[in-house]
Chains A and B, each alone.
Chain A
């Protein structure tokens, strides 16, 4: 029996010729990622045990993305603690405030995360690694064991395969596919258990560039997938080679790899989707809710924080202003994107449209540390999820849409179909040049 790509990555990292689902292995990661929200817990846990050195400080990537601009004294204290921790542990790859951006976006944009890599992460959105053909494994608070010993146990997950059929129509975005997929799973139209599974995309996926693949990693994660995987296309490989900080070898599944389920998803007729408040699995065609008033909007997060997502939003916001009753926050996925938006004029479009620029990172999507919603408000965003209270008052109505839908809605002050708004071709071309 052959192996899936993720099985191959785990086998390589564990020094084994082969692994199969259910095996428990101890893979040695290419790097170890920990974000600003959990450094304190891990440091205190290890300190209490007297563990004062890390197994491989040179592999540790510390990222400040959850609470970037310290909206509270407590956050400032944590930032100070994290900087001291980085010094004591000897962590050189410390992407503090203003240095890197979102830990699940910038490593792909800077060539740190490359096809075929395996890494450990405390955070579940490590699934984004699958966009570039890598595998990030979430261990939560058990990141402390990875830091101390250099590895941790991994039970090889089962894989399921989804063959995409058809091409997205203009104005329909990869995030729409994600919401739709989650909804089909949620209402059991598609019998697919994603709990601790790796979802591998196949079929007509040549249409999805790296940013779209990243967007497609988001909603399955909310449906409890532990990994998502796209076999890297030639276009993704070209991008990775251009940015690579070190050599890499892309990994592909064997033709006789084993999948617990093998399903198809037709996307050719898909409309833009809106996830209704309460979860990504509550999506409807945008026509069902178009016109619903909203006063808060946000573009960014691990699901829609790639440079191309920002360009998509800018192509709609160019030459327009957001509704007077609306506040729109933009959180780029990386400092690289922020700088780039200055050079190519995207930043001017956002500012002139009346948007508020946030530092690269998670934005409001982390526990409302910036730009929260108030009780009774309605919001439309590209956040990772819209579970009650995700970014503010639990009774606020949180809608989700693609970057294009959120931009069109911010202009209208109501949920609006992006296909009814002309997008600037000149701005969209920037995304192609971005590659």
Chain B
């Protein structure tokens, strides 16, 4: 698992406060339809606010949001973000949104106060999700935010809950 990329280097994609999951992150119809297939979800990430986002973003890009990102215990948008190789840094998230993001194996930092004030879309960022180091190379600013709890890193490294359970079961069978 050592090859897992905990440091992302990419461009900032900045969003404001109170972006809801349904509509703000991914159209509500994919949530209602319980669509969890990354290939189906990717083309629709941020579709209602920024059509074509999935074509323009690159693996390593980092979504930076204001307060209260991703309202609701929904995971569809995080599945798409992970599939695209994106990271997520939020001023705050409702807890269930955070739990859902971890459960889908997304690299995510939350409780990063005023993070939106030190970057703009397009800035070159470098974020180490293990220790919470946040660097804006374009503006020469760095911050230290709360890292992801160590015990949750394992879930993210294994690709989320499903991956974690799969490995756990393999180990159980080995140990009898």
Contact = CB atoms under 8 A, between A and B. Distances in A.
Interface of A: 24, 45-46, 49-51, 140, 142, 144-145, 148-149, 153, 155, 157, 195-196, 224, 226
A195 B69 CA distance: 13
A189 to B, nearest CB: 20
A153 B165 contact: no
B108 to A, nearest CB: 13
B161 A153 contact: no
B94 A224 contact: yes
Interface centre among A24, A49, A50, A149 (most CB of B within 10 A): A49
B169 to A, nearest CB: 5
Interface in B124-176: 149, 151-152, 155, 161-162, 164-166, 168-169
A145 B162 CA distance: 9
Contact of B152 (A46, A140, A153, A224): A153
Q: Chain B contact residues: over half helix, strand or loop, or mixed?
A: helix
B149 A49 contact: no
Nearest to A195: B94
B73 interface: yes
Nearest to B75: A141
B151 A196 contact: no
Contacts of B73: 140
Contacts of B169: 49-51, 148
Contact of B168 (A24, A140, A149, A195): A149
Nearest to B150: A24
Contacts of A226: 95
Contact of A24 (B149, B161, B164): B149
A51 B165 contact: yes
A58 to B, nearest CB: 19
A177 B169 CA distance: 47
Nearest to A197: B95
Contact of B161 (A50, A51, A142, A157): A142
A121 to B, nearest CB: 14
B103 interface: yes
Nearest to B68: A195
Contact of B151 (A24, A140, A224): A24
B74 to A, nearest CB: 10
Contacts of A195: 94-95
A140 B73 CA distance: 9
10 nearest A-B pairs in the assembled complex, by CB-CB distance: A196-B95, A24-B149, A24-B151, A51-B169, A195-B94, A49-B166, A49-B165, A49-B169, A140-B73, A145-B165
A157 B96 CA distance: 12
A148 B165 contact: yes
B116 to A, nearest CB: 19
B21 to A, nearest CB: 14
Given A51-B165, A149-B168, A24 B94 contact: no
Contacts of A148: 165, 168-169
5 contacts: A144-B161, A149-B165, A149-B168, A153-B152, A224-B94
A8 B3 CA distance: 39
Contacts of A149: 165, 168
A145 B95 contact: no
A153 B168 contact: no
A144 B164 CA distance: 12
B34 to A, nearest CB: 9
Contacts of A51: 165, 169
A198 to B, nearest CB: 12
Given A144-B161, A153-B155, 8 more contacts: A24-B149, A24-B152, A49-B166, A50-B169, A51-B165, A145-B165, A148-B169, A195-B95
Contacts of A46: 165
Nearest to A23: B149
B103 A142 contact: yes
A196 B165 contact: no
Contacts of B95: 155, 157, 195-196, 226
Contacts of A144: 161, 165
Contacts of A153: 151-152, 155
Interface string B91-104: 00011100100010
B94 A196 contact: yes
A54 to B, nearest CB: 12
A368 to B, nearest CB: 16
A24 B166 CA distance: 22
A196 B100 CA distance: 14
A421 B94 CA distance: 43
Contacts of A24: 149, 151-152
Contacts of B165: 46, 49, 51, 144-145, 148-149
Interface in B74-119: 94-96, 99, 103
Contacts of B151: 24, 153
Contacts of A196: 94-96
Contacts of B164: 145
A140 B99 CA distance: 10
A365 to B, nearest CB: 19
Interface centre among B103, B152, B165 (most CB of A within 10 A): B165
Nearest to A140: B73
Contacts of B152: 24, 153
A103 to B, nearest CB: 19
A49 B152 CA distance: 21
B120 to A, nearest CB: 28
A257 B46 CA distance: 43
Nearest to A51: B169
